[in-house]
């Protein structure tokens, strides 16, 4: 008797080739939350967009000012089409917006796009902001009082 669904496909493929096959199709389905559904699809989209170093660098560049797509692409060693795909992912995640001014397409950072992700991470308590000034004063006191630490 043949199994139903995706398992049947794997059973047939294994019988024909002797190779065990696995599918990762569910990993690439847009907007699909994990089994527990702990994160909303919008959070999944934001974290997925932030997972790529090129997209994080684009966001860093847009912190300074709005930029034309061609200016965004300039420092990267990839095609304009590849940069455009990165920009589409950032736009769908709500991290940037794009608008056409004349013949030029401009990108603008949307800081509110990371708000939900920031709130979600702060829920763990590990990501509390660090007061670097207080930490620096603490280190100065420690070094002033203890010298080099050797006795």
In the numeric block, which tokens belong to residue 126? 């590990």
Task: Give all domains of the chain, ordered by start, each with its CATH number.
Answer: 40-128 (1.10.10.10)
Residue ranges of alpha helices (H) inside 1-151 are 6-17, 41-50, 53-64, 69-73, 80-92, 115-122, 132-146
pLDDT digit string, tens, across residues 91-140: 999 999 999 999 999 999 998 888 888 888 887 776 556 677 777 788 78
Among 1-5, 27-31, 116-120, 147-151, the range with the most confident prediction by mean pLDDT is: 116-120
> 95 and 113 in contact (C-beta within 8 Å)?
yes
- Give me 63's structure tokens: 């912190």
Estimate to the nearest angstrom the gap between the alpha carbon of 84 and the chain centroid.
16
Confidence of residue 58 (pLDDT cuts 50, 70, 90): very high
pLDDT score at 60: 94
Asked whether residue 32 carries a pLDDT value surpassing 50, the answer given is no
């Amino acid at each position: 008797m043949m199994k139903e669904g995706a398992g049947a496909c794997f059973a047939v493929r294994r019988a024909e080739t002797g190779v065990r096959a696995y599918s990762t199709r569910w990993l690439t389905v847009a907007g699909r939350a994990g089994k527990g559904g702990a994160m909303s699809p919008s959070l999944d989209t934001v974290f997925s967009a932030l997972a790529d170093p090129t997209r994080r660098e684009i966001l860093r560049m847009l912190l300074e000012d709005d930029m034309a797509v061609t200016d965004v692409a300039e420092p990267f060693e990839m095609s304009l089409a590849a940069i455009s795909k990165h920009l589409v992912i950032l736009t769908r995640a709500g991290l940037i917006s794009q608008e056409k001014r004349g013949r030029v397409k401009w990108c603008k950072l949307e800081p509110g796009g990371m708000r939900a992700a920031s709130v979600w991470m702060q829920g763990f308590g590990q990501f509390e902001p660090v007061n670097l000034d207080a930490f620096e004063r603490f280190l100065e006191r420690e070094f002033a009082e203890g010298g080099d630490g050797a006795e």
